[in-house]
Amino acid sequence: MDEKFDCIIVGAGVAGLAAAMILARNNLKFLLIEKGDFPGSKNVSGGVLWGSDLAKLVPNYWDEDAGWDRFINHRRLTFMDNQSAFSVDFKSSHFNETPYTGVVVLRSKFDRWLAGKVQEAIDASEYAMDSFIAPNILVEEILMENGNAVGIRTGEDRFYSDSVIIAEGVNNLLTRQVGLQDTYVPADHILTGIKEIIRFDERVLEDRFQLNGRSGMSNEFVGFSTDGVEGGGFLYTNKNTISLGLVLGLKDLREKEKAPYDILNTFKQHPVISDMIRGGEVVEYSAHVVSSGDKRIIPKRLCKGGLLVCGEAANLLMNSGKAIQGMDYAMRSGILAAEAIVNAKKTSDFGEASMQRYQAALEDSYIMKDINNFQDAVHLLHDPVMTQKVPNLLCDFGRNFFSIKNEPTRKARQMLGESVKKYSSYWELMKVGVKGAKAL
Ligand SMILES: Cc1cc2nc3c(=O)[nH]c(=O)nc-3n(C[C@H](O)[C@H](O)[C@H](O)COP(=O)(O)OP(=O)(O)OC[C@H]3O[C@@H](n4cnc5c(N)ncnc54)[C@H](O)[C@@H]3O)c2cc1C
């Protein structure tokens, strides 16, 4: 193929598909390349897609049965010791309204569906015959000339373009190859995510998790769930399955010589979790590296002449304890990257100064504002006081507070004082409390 594209996008994950949708709608000629058999075939996610950007790409997507599984109207944060679970629980019909503030997606289904929507946009564009979604192709090299990206190489084949968007995800080999990411990223800032999909009869799932129609719940876990390793657990309800999994610090796993699968098995045997998954059948198991949300691993520059990096390839992710936000960051950054390319096309200027508009738009977006504002929360999540001592003392307090014995009842503050002394101290908690108040 001799023709030159306006843009080549590497990776048909959330970021690449979002970028492609904007390019198609703006009548640009592009090639979206994916190494998997189909978009989504290589992707793993817990996964709640937070926020309402999806409605910008596919208006009224909620009218369709396909693509997404459930909207979230029930959130729970659970602190665990080895026997108990102490939860903060919030459910509201306020979240039943569209546009939803979070939808659960299974990536192999979701990415494939979104790719179908991108194809529809291509078909409706001026380049219906010249823009392509090309699966089963591994991009091995970004072609650079005089510091500007001019195309890509796959095997012996070269494809040329005015611009390249790298949306390759967290294992960002091409981003490193073009010199935008340090070649060595310390394991301290990387986690591994593992997940099982457990299938239930749909009625059993709805009754067990109090679901109604397409409503769903998300549950994050802190404490025993990770068996002393830094990280946390999650449970999300899909249509007739649940996603149950963990994200675990790679460095801590190595130092404590623990295996992710053993930790997941221990988590599943916890009395609260085993009650939730009783009768379910594990139908899928997957693992994937995930960024920590530490901004030290976000490349300082996310562009060069004709080149932009978006999504988790740029390590754009937030895990502040409230939720993992990776897909919504990928979607928004993909949109912003494509908008920069659309503007560059208008002036035929794909030079570095023009590409920097993307970086400026990203800085101005909620993504970088949140990443900058919530760094303390990201670090707090890795503090053993928060991940071990607080869950233990809360569960100890809960056990005493909720026990009704035929004897005089102590005041709650007395019980709390005992639990604090047993697992920590007021001084230590005060320090974490001040950090937490500042962080959130
Ligand atoms: C266990 C787990 C749970 C998570 N839970 C959540 C959650 O609940 N909510 C949330 O928002 N986020 C969650 N995340 C994070 C989220 O999945 C990622 O942040 C998000 O998928 C990033 O999107 P992306 O498009 O940047 O990259 P990806 O989704 O990784 O897509 C990159 C694509 O590029 C392709 N590719 C890579 N290299 C090449 C190449 N050289 N040539 C061609 N194609 C290539 C890959 O095959 C892939 O399809 C979770 C992650 C994990 C691991």
The residues spanned by each domain of the chain are 5-67+105-181+299-373, 188-291, 383-439
Q: Which residues does 99 contact at the CB level (< 8 Å), separation at least 6?
A: 52, 54, 55, 62
Confidence (pLDDT) at 14: 97
Q: How many CA atoms lie within 13 A of 195 on its CB side?
A: 23
Confidence (pLDDT) at 189: 84
* 328 CA closest ligand 1 atom index: 11
Nearest residue by C-alpha to atom 29 in ligand 1: 13
Distance (Å, whole) CA 77 – CA 85? 10
What residues in the chain have per-residue pLDDT under 50? none
Distance (Å, whole) CA 368 – CA 357? 14
Reading the block at residue 261, the tokens are 């699968």
Domains 5-67+105-181+299-373 and 188-291 share a fold: no
pTM: 0.95
Residues facing residue 137 across a β-bridge: none
Distance (Å, whole) CA 399 – CA 388? 17
CATH of domain 5-67+105-181+299-373: 3.50.50.60
Q: Are 400 and 415 in contact (CB under 8 A)?
A: yes
Distance (Å, whole) CA 124 – CA 290? 36
Question: Residue 216: helix, strand or coil by DSSP?
Answer: strand
- Residue among 37, 43, 100, 190 to mutate when testing ligand 1 (max atoms within 8 A of CB): 43
Using the mean position of ligand 1's atoms as its centre, give its distance from the Cα of residue 107 in Å: 9
Confidence (pLDDT) at 326: 95
Residues facing residue 30 across a β-bridge: 7
Confidence (pLDDT) at 146: 95
Nearest residue by C-alpha to atom 52 in ligand 1: 45
Q: Are 314 and 176 in contact (CB under 8 A)?
A: no
Contacts 24+ apart (CB under 8 A), 50-55: 50/101, 50/102, 50/323, 50/325, 50/327, 50/328, 51/101, 51/102, 51/328, 51/332, 52/99, 52/100, 52/101, 53/18, 53/328, 53/331, 53/332, 53/335, 54/99, 54/103, 54/331, 55/98, 55/99
Using the mean position of ligand 1's atoms as its centre, give its distance from the Cα of residue 212 in Å: 29
Q: Are 303 and 356 in contact (CB under 8 A)?
A: yes
- Residue among 45, 263, 325 to mutate when testing ligand 1 (max atoms within 8 A of CB): 45
Q: Count the Cβ atoms, other than its own, within 10 Å of residue 123.
A: 12
Confidence (pLDDT) at 44: 64
Nearest residue by C-alpha to atom 51 in ligand 1: 45
* 137 CA closest ligand 1 atom index: 43
Residues with CB under 6 A from ligand 1: 10-16, 33-36, 42-50, 138-139, 167-169, 174, 193, 195, 245, 247, 288, 290, 311-313, 317, 324-328, 330
Confidence (pLDDT) at 2: 58
Strand 241-249 relative to strand 190-199, pairing: antiparallel
CATH of domain 188-291: 3.30.9.90
Nearest residue by C-alpha to atom 19 in ligand 1: 326
Residues facing residue 106 across a β-bridge: none
Residue type, 63: D
